[in-house]
Structure 1
Amino acid sequence: MKIDPQSSADLSAQIASAIRDEIIAGRLIVDQRLPSEAELADHFDVSRPTVREALKRLAAQSLIRTQRGASGGAFVNRISFEEAYAQQITTSTLLLSMNAVSFETACEARFALERACAPLSAARRSADHLAAMRAEVHRQAQPGLTDEAFCASDVAFHRALVDGAGNPVLSYQLAGAVEAMQPLMNMITFTARDRARIVALHGQIADAAEAADGPAINSGLNALEAETLHLAQGLFARKSTRPA
């Protein structure tokens, strides 16, 4: 493990990156104890506080865990897909907010990714996934539901459809698409959307999932994409014609 003391990059960040690379390469394995702070400080020729900051960075990424006591120390952590969802969602949200990604581009990516799950969801969805989708359709149809609650239910519906594919790698990759992009789309279109139309399309998708009909799921997703784009384009057009 090496760092470049002449680099302008923060030393603790370099150390964290070097250790992370060792974990990714498999040279540091799950549950293996890392060298002590003193040993790492000697190895990298830095102060212990610098090492401590590097370990905090790794812990924040769930790459290591710390234990106290005589047998304690820092250990390589086993990351679950579920534990990594939050980081994926945060990264996707930041990318969308910090870069000039058009609504159309985000919408295209979000639905293209979800359509990839349709055939697998049709074949593998469980009774629990179906029940979750049905529950959200019922919730969305309630007349007193707030916009915020409707948005949360919308995300939960699509989360159940994606998870129905039974593939944790896909679920992880789609966490950002569903839980970062979907709220963005809802935030832009909620003032103009027809809830009854969305609920009806969600019902069709749930029916298709229950019938194990992948093409029908995709048909419903296509209709949702078209509805979302139509609403957004109408809103953007109206905003552009308003007097300054």
Structure 2
Amino acid sequence: MRRALTGSKNTSSTTVSPESTEARIASSALRLFATKGFAASGIREIASAAGITTASLYHYMGTKEDLLVHLMRTSLERFVTVGRQSLEGLTSPAECLAALVRIHVATEGLHPLMSIVNDSEVRSLIGASKDAVMRVRDEYEALWSQTIKSGVEQGIFHVAEPSLARLALLEMCNGVAHWYVAEERLALGEVSDHFADMALALVDAQSDGKRLAVSTLGMRPASFEIGLVQRIYSEYK
């Protein structure tokens, strides 16, 4: 009987045991989808990269689209989980926005292949498959929408089009996966704090007439959000 990969929590070589066949398949597919694109990646290529035959590959998965949907849904579900947990205990919209930016930047920096696939391959999905992925993505983006809306309603954020602000901020954070290299000058925590400051500037965050920044909010260190991302992803091993 075919044992479908869909439904498994193993999605990439960075988050699952490399000895597992499912892990090798997911890791190989993820790398190919991120570097070549879903349409240009063939079933034979995925099987070869995973070190198995094409016939064996079908024992672990349904279609190539099933594999893409699985990778994207599980990755986005982690985004939702880590996003919600980053907001726990925070009441200020400015702190909430900074926390969301930090976890998004951390995820893009630590798991760039997953992030690139999430950002670029929705276009490859149709029908029910696309709807399933979009529901999870919408759930994550709602955290941002609610935070920005709350900031505007409380007079802390000053932005005429909150929905455009959300799109601009997400696009800004998504780009990290394409250029961040851990060995470069800035550590990931520093990058996330700089991005959080830019996000607060974009929504014109103010309190008592003074502009808000990470340094003025008295926030916990960025290592908290980085550790949160690492912990949530490690739970999928």
TM-score normalised by length of structure 2: 0.31
TM-score normalised by length of structure 1: 0.30
Which has the higher relative contact order, 1 or 2, with Cα contacts under 8 A spaced 6 or more apart? 2
Larger of the two Rg values belongs to structure: 1
